[in-house]
Structure 1
Amino acid sequence: MATNGITAYSVKTKTKNVPMVDPVIDVKSGRYIATGTDGAGNKMAAILSKAKAEEHIAGGAAKKGSGW
């Protein structure tokens, strides 16, 4: 990760490592999915490992969503 927060690929702007604003991590089908927006309000999503998801939640970079 380039920054302390979660970064993802923005499909709309076609740029990599875009910081996610107010990410929420949900567990769906055993996968940890971070959803949020970029600085311009475009929706983004990233799949994380369990360790990375728990690290971001413990560090305050993300909130727990549904499925925990």
Structure 2
Amino acid sequence: MATTSGITAYSVKTKTKNVPMVDPVIDVKSGRYIATGTDGAGNKMAAIMGKATAEEHIKNGNAKKGSGW
């Protein structure tokens, strides 16, 4: 789900894989790390990832910390 250039996810509306997220925010809910954001067209997207991946994206500046940390 994640690449070195940023967070990507599946877009349910357009049915395409590896769509880059715009301004993702990573929240911790029930012990899961969930990145939420939008695609280029403004459609909402979400991606679930592990703790190491989430911390790496925040450290690299690809995402912001949300609630639950």
Fold shared by both chains (TM-score > 0.5)? yes
| Gap change, CA 1:47 and 1:21, over 3 Å in 2 | same
Moved over 6 A (4+): none
Cα distance, 1:25 vs. partner? 0.1
Gaps of at least 5 residues in structure 2 are none
Counterparts of 1:51 and 1:22, CA distance in 2: 19
Gaps of at least 5 residues in structure 1 are none
Q: Does 1:55 align with 2:56?
A: yes
| Gap change, CA 1:9 and 1:54, over 3 Å in 2 | same
Name the residue aligned to 2:67: 66
Q: How many residues align?
A: 68
3-state SS of 1:6 partner? strand
3-state SS of 2:6 partner? coil
More strand by share: 2
TM-score, normalised with respect to structure 2: 0.95
Name the residue aligned to 1:16: 17
Name the residue aligned to 1:33: 34
CA-atom RMSD in angstroms:
0.9
Cα distance, 1:3 vs. partner? 4.6
Name the residue aligned to 1:7: 8
Percent same amino acid at aligned positions? 87
